[in-house]
Amino acid sequence: MHHTLKLFIFTALFCVMGIQMGNTQERDMKRTDFQISIDAQPVVFTVPPILKDGVWLVPLEDFAKRLGLKVEYPEGEEMAVLCGETEAERCVPLRFQDSKDGVVEVKGVTYAQPASVTAPFGFEIYSISSNRLEVIQPMHLAPEFTLPDLQGTQRHLRDFRGKKTLLYVWGSW
């Protein structure tokens, strides 16, 4: 019986230590393993992105600045407003809500989901993997067109977005 008790205590301690080590590794991985690039240039944040409720969030001001957007916080409102660099460009409100639908503040830093920042301004965002995103500015996207494939089926360029695509054009004149 005494041997069983020792085995139980050892197993319990091992499990607790394993859980703590796992949580530490997971927390460290979350801080350093998320990568985002804009037009193939890696973004380095002054404050690291976080994983909240299963969603990656980036520091709003750093990310917006890299995209050429301004962030304003209207007084008395629980929202952030993103605006293009020129006054003629649109402004988009992002309400402080949960991490899936708006912006959140964590320890004095405002975070947002990358897609909620990029989509209103025409940026394309692709998920390379669960922890890696690529953002492409609208000016770097090929114009939309449709061409038939070898079987005569009409194919749209947008169907291949985010995938490596070889376009072979042949002609004889």
pLDDT in tens, 121-170: 888 888 877 788 888 776 666 778 888 888 999 988 878 766 777 777 77
Residue 148 CA to residue 171 CA, distance in Å, equals 14
Residue-level pLDDT at 151: 92
Per-residue pLDDT tens over the stretch 32-87 = 578 888 888 888 899 999 888 888 889 999 999 988 899 999 988 888 898 987 65
At 27 the three-state DSSP class reads helix
| pLDDT on residue 162 | 65
Residue 79: per-residue pLDDT = 86
In terms of Cβ atoms closer than 10 Å to its own Cβ (0-12, 13-18, 19+), residue 37 is middle
Residue 171 confidence class, pLDDT cut points 50, 70, 90: confident
Q: Determine the pLDDT at residue 144.
A: 80
pTM to 2 decimal places: 0.63
Helix (H, G, I), strand (E, B) or coil at 3: helix
61-to-39, 56, 99, 163 alpha-carbon distances in Å:
18, 15, 16, 29
Model pLDDT for residues 2-17, shown as the tens digit of each residue: 555 444 444 444 444 4
